[in-house]
């Protein structure tokens, strides 16, 4: 069964951490001639917001993925136990033993296949989250470059 104690990542706690440690406030009183600190703070706030949202989405996705993996594995093992219990063990000959082995192997392979498909979904979720963060980084670099160009023209 799913045990939240073994998967204790808490998005709300992480969000609260970023709220309590508002790094943009540290830049608010910083005055550098020729630098628009308000624009810099706004850009960094966008970065933090994007990071928090990406982390929320990733955490929710992983929690859901973990629950699905556990459910699929438990269902597969339950089905295998049911099939194995239907065998008549009083007449255990070579053919019956082979059939039991084949059934157990098929159930295990099905569970592994399902888990592999879910792992590939997780990899795609990671890739998608990375793309979101990478896009924001590119936007942030453009914003910083524009601020630097503006400061250079004023100076």
pLDDT of residue 71: 84
Q: What rounded mean pLDDT belongs to the chain?
A: 76
Residue pair 14/52 in contact (Cβ under 8 Å)? The answer is yes
Mean pLDDT: which of 15-24, 39-48, 72-81, 129-138 is highest? 129-138
pTM, 2 dp: 0.51
pLDDT for residue 1 is more than 60: no
| Cα distances (Å, whole numbers) of residue 128 to 32, 101, 118, 131, 134 | 37, 41, 15, 5, 10
CB distance 136 to 43 below 8 Å: no
How confident is the model over 101-118, as pLDDT tens digits? 887 788 788 878 887 888
Q: Are 41 and 152 in contact (CB under 8 A)?
A: no
In angstroms, the CA 79 to CA 73 distance is 10
pLDDT digit string, tens, across residues 42-85: 877 888 888 888 887 777 777 888 888 788 878 877 887 787 67
Which residues, 6 or more positions from 44, have their beta carbon under 8 angstroms from its beta carbon?
Answer: 23, 24, 27, 140
* Residue 67 Cα to chain centre, angstroms: 13
* CB neighbourhood size of 58 (10 A): 20
Output the pLDDT for position 11.
63
């Amino acid at each position: 069964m799913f045990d939240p104690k073994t998967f204790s990542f808490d998005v709300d706690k992480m969000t609260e951490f970023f709220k309590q440690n508002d790094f943009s406030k540290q830049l608010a009183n910083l005055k550098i001639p020729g630098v628009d600190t308000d624009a810099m703070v706004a850009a960094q706030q966008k970065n933090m917001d994007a990071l928090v949202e990406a982390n929320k989405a990733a955490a929710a996705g992983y929690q859901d993925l973990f629950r699905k993996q556990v459910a699929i594995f438990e269902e597969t093992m339950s089905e295998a136990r049911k099939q194995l219990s239907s065998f008549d063990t009083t007449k255990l000959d070579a053919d019956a033993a082979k059939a039991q082995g084949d059934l157990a192997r098929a159930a295990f392979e099905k569970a592994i296949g399902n888990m592999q498909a879910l792992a590939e979904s997780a990899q795609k979720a990671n890739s998608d989250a990375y793309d979101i963060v990478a896009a924001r980084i590119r936007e942030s670099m453009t914003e910083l470059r524009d601020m630097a160009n503006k400061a250079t023209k004023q100076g």
